[in-house]
Structure 1
Amino acid sequence: MPGPADALGPILELMTWVGFVPGIPLLVAGWVVAKRRCPWTSTTAEVFEAGGYKGFRWSDGENAPHLSLHTAEETRGLEPGSEVVLHFDACHPGRWGLVPHRHDNTVMTVGWILTAVGIVCTLAGFILMMF
Structure 2
Amino acid sequence: MPEAGGVRNDYDEAVTPLDVLALIGEIVSWIGFGAGVPLLLSGWTLRFSDGTWEPVEIAVVRAGDALRARWFAGGDFRERRLRRGEAHLGEGWHRGYASSRRPDRLRFVEPPATARVCLAAGWALMAAGLIGLVASWIPAFL
String of CA shifts for 1:15-49, please: whole Å, max 9, x gaps.
21222233224323322332222332343322335
Distance 1:22 1:36 in 2: 21
Distance 2:82 2:96 in 1: 12
* Count of residue pairs brought into register by the alignment: 125
Whether the 8 Å contact between 2:21 and 2:135 is mirrored in structure 1 is: no
Relative to the length of structure 1, the TM-score reads 0.64
Unaligned runs of 5+ in 2: 1-13
Q: Does 1:5 align with 2:18?
A: yes
Q: Does 1:130 align with 2:141?
A: yes
**Structure 2 letter corresponding to 1:14:** I
Q: Does 1:21 align with 2:34?
A: yes
Distance 2:26 2:83 in 1: 57
Relative to the length of structure 2, the TM-score reads 0.61
Match of 2:5 in 1: none
Match of 1:67 in 2: 81
What secondary structure does 2:124 align onto? helix
Structure (1 or 2) with the larger CA radius of gyration? 2
Give 1:96 shift. Answer: 0.6
What secondary structure does 2:82 align onto? strand
User: What is the alpha-carbon root mean square deviation over aligned residues?
Assistant: 3.5
Whether the 8 Å contact between 2:29 and 2:133 is mirrored in structure 1 is: yes
Change (3 A) 1:43 1:12: closer
Q: How does 1:1-131 map to 2 (within 5 A)?
A: 1-48=14-61, 55-59=67-71, 61=74, 62-68=76-82, 74-75=88-89, 80=91, 82-90=92-100, 91=102, 93=104, 95-97=106-108, 100-101=110-111, 103-105=113-115, 106-131=117-142
The structure that is helix-richer by fraction is 2
Change (3 A) 1:8 1:115: same
**Structure 2 letter corresponding to 1:123:** V
Aligned-pair identity (%): 20
